[in-house]
Chains A and B, each alone.
Chain A
Amino acid sequence: DADVTQTPRNRITKTGKRIMLECSQTKGHDRMYWYRQDPGLGLRLIYYSFDVKDINKGEISDGYSVSRQAQAKFSLSLESAIPNQTALYFCATSDSGLYLVDEQFFGPGTRLTVL
């Protein structure tokens, strides 16, 4: 079984709709992240969480919100989707180990299309 899972894997929605992307992990990691990837722009951080009570904005948080329901679950919501939120979304996890920033493990991604 995959250590980091994302649902759904693909989603097509319409402008103005609310959508939630879910991420679950069985790695036992405290830290979880949401990124979006666009061609030519690389991976950009949306939100991150270092534990259940800790939520932090990344570089492109406008238009997004998150919920850390448990150590293993971190959800990303688009309250009112717009076409420029069409992208590939990745969830990632990392341990709070020896180094302040440890390696990150990525889920399989969710391809979101907003029409």
Chain B
Amino acid sequence: QKEVEQNSGPLSVPEGAIASLNCTYSDRVSQSFFWYRQYSGKSPELIMSIYSNGDKEDGRFTAQLNKASQYVSLLIRDSQPSDSATYLCAVNEYNFGNEKLTFGTGTRLTIIP
């Protein structure tokens, strides 16, 4: 069973600061990496995808991927109270042609006004 590990938190960050969320994965051949945001009782929504080593920026969000270290992170700049949610890391898992996503258990982020 391939694993995706996240610190469950809660992670508390002051409003306006940078929130840093981390994820490690065990499958060395994984190629697709996603960050989902999930508000309590709601469905996950995709906020970032990354496929290549390095940084990918979208507005206040930056995803960072390091395949050699099997590490993917999400930075949220200028954190807002509306960013308070659980963030799920998802990594593709090769399974003899039936590739699928494996999700971490999520990190709960709280932005303190």
Q: Which residues of A contact B106 (CB under 8 A)?
A: 42
A101 touches B32 (CB 8 A): yes
A58 touches B46 (CB 8 A): no
| Chain B facing A: main interface SS | loop
Q: Name the distance in Å between A99's Cβ and chain B's nearest Cβ.
A: 5
Given known contacts A40-B105, A58-B100, is B43 in contact with A103 (CB within 8 Å)? Answer: no
B103 touches A102 (CB 8 A): no
Given known contacts A50-B98, A105-B46, A106-B44, is B88 in contact with A99 (CB within 8 Å)? Answer: no
Q: Name the distance in Å between A84's Cβ and chain B's nearest Cβ.
A: 18
B32 touches A40 (CB 8 A): no
A109 touches B8 (CB 8 A): no
Count residues on chain A whose CB falls below 8 Å from chain B CBs: 25
Q: Please name 19 pairs of A and B residues whose Cβ atoms are closer than 8 Å in the assembled complex, sorted by A.
A: A33-B100, A40-B8, A42-B105, A43-B44, A43-B103, A45-B100, A45-B102, A50-B98, A99-B31, A99-B51, A99-B92, A100-B32, A101-B31, A101-B100, A102-B32, A104-B34, A104-B101, A106-B45, A107-B43
Residues of A within 8 A of B (CB): 33, 40-45, 48, 50, 56, 58-59, 88, 90, 99-109
